[in-house]
Amino acid sequence: MEKEFTEIDEKNGWNPHYGEIKNKSPVFSNKIAKNPENKDRNRYRDVSPYDHSRVKLQNVENDYINASLVVTEEAQRSYILTQGPLPNTCCHFWLMVWQQKSKAIVMLNRIIEKDTTEEAREIFHFHYTTWPDFGVPVSPASFLKFLFKVRESGSLNLENGPAVVHCSAGIGRSGTFSLVDTCLLLMEKRKDPSSVDIKQVLLNMRNCRMGLIQTPGQLRFSYMAVIEGEKYIMQESSVQRESREGCNGNGILTEDHLKKNSYSDSFNKHQDVVDSNIESLIRKRRREDRNIITAQKVQKIKQTMNEAERKRKRWLYWKPFLIPIGLTTLILSGAYICWKIYIS
């Protein structure tokens, strides 16, 4: 794997390598996600769960949520990859966490909260705050520390329900997290760690959710994180053997030791290659967000105009009756007042 990484890096070939994975990725039906009643439950129009692997809500009229169950049998790991909750899907999100008996929520973007009532259950909430949308962390150091911390909690273990992993769309940062964790697990389980093919693992995971890993930069970072994570876990390099002295009491890598690797140093050298692609994707995402907001505003304006039109039509309908009634009432009231004055 390290040799493959170096070859791709030297050829500056991450775009074609990513393109090859994209072209080989399977496409399955996602009709349920496209149903009109589920339209407002999707954050993005181009990110939908496949019908065969979507998570279904239980005991509700509409069981749809934009979430996919990703199972890696050999690694004996399962994840629920989902989008960040929308205002109208927060209740669905927490219902899913409860029903799937998830022990952890791995959040790779912003913060959420939820109160509980009656029955209580402890759920670990892991929050990684410095990962830009469509981008990657500056180096694998902090990411690996975060991943190992999640592992330490035991919330990814088989006896618990699948961990809920989400970012914004539930495919880029979430895909990177689950891919790196799965590959490191496979390396631990196999006699020959070098037999783990990141590309094939990613293709297998894409059978469960579309578009996992959104950019060549995220793919490259996944390779970097797996290589450095393997060195630590397998204790195969002198750098990582030295790092044992720099670990804290829980056996977690310190960032200073993780930063002592050539892949972290080479990151900035290659970052400018993918920056333009990332920026274009971010612009596209922002355009979509603006279009959604604009559509909502237009719909609200239309509703206001329709309501005003209905009021106007009601007034026009009753006007021929109300005006004579009003005039008659006015005349009778005046006559009554004059009569009272006259007789007094």
Region 269-281: what's the mean pLDDT?
52
Tokens of 127: 């929050």
Note the pLDDT tens digit of each residue in 165-200. Answer: 998 888 989 999 999 999 999 998 888 888 999 999
Q: Structural domain boundaries of the chain?
A: 2-291
For residue 100, give the nearest of 133, 71, 143, 127 by alpha carbon: 71
Q: How far apart are CA 209 and CA 49, in angstroms?
A: 6
- The confidence band for 52, taking pLDDT boundaries of 50, 70 and 90, is very high
pLDDT confidence of 314, banded at 50, 70, 90? Answer: confident
Please report which confidence band the pLDDT of residue 283 belongs to, taking 50, 70 and 90 as the band edges: low
Residue 214 annotated in ligand binding: yes
- Per the annotation, does 100 bind a ligand? no
Q: Which residues fall within 8 angstroms of residue 13, CB to CB, at 6 or more apart?
A: 7
**247 carries an active-site annotation:** no
What is the total residue count of the chain?
Answer: 344
Sign of the alpha-carbon torsion through 213, 217, 220, 222: negative
Task: Name the most confidently modeled range: 43-47, 113-117, 123-127.
Answer: 43-47
Q: Taking 70 as the threshold, does the pLDDT of residue 56 lie above it? A: yes
301 is written with which tokens? 């304006």
User: What is the reported pTM?
Assistant: 0.65
- The residue from 167, 183, 247, 338 that is catalytic is 167
Instruction: Assess whether pLDDT exceeds 60 at residue 307.
Output: yes
pLDDT, tens digit, 9 for 90 and up, residues 230-243: 888 766 444 444 54
Q: C-alpha distances in angstroms, 80 versus 31, 118, 123, 227, 265?
A: 20, 25, 15, 25, 33
- Where residue 58 falls among pLDDT bands split at 50, 70, 90? very high
Mean pLDDT, rounded, for 322-330: 85
pLDDT at 328 over 50: yes
DSSP string over 29-66: --HHHHSGGGGGG-SSTT--B-TTTB---SSSS----S
Q: Torsion over CA of 154, 158, 160 and 166, rounded to 10 degrees?
A: 80
Q: What is the mean pLDDT of residues 110-130?
A: 65
| Residue 44 clears pLDDT 60, i.e. is over it | yes
Task: Say which DSSP state 244 is in.
Answer: G
Instruction: Give DSSP secondary structure letters for 156-216.
Output: TSTTSBPEEEESSSSSSHHHHHHHHHHHHHHHHHSS-GGG--HHHHHHHHTTTBTT-S-SH
CATH architecture of 2-291: Alpha-Beta Complex (3.90)
Residue 161 labeled ligand binder: no
Cβ atoms of 258 and 239 closer than 8 Å: no
Report percent pLDDT > 70 for the chain. Answer: 81
Do the annotations mark residue 292 as ligand-binding? no
Q: Identify the band that residue 282 occupies on the pLDDT scale cut at 50, 70 and 90.
A: low
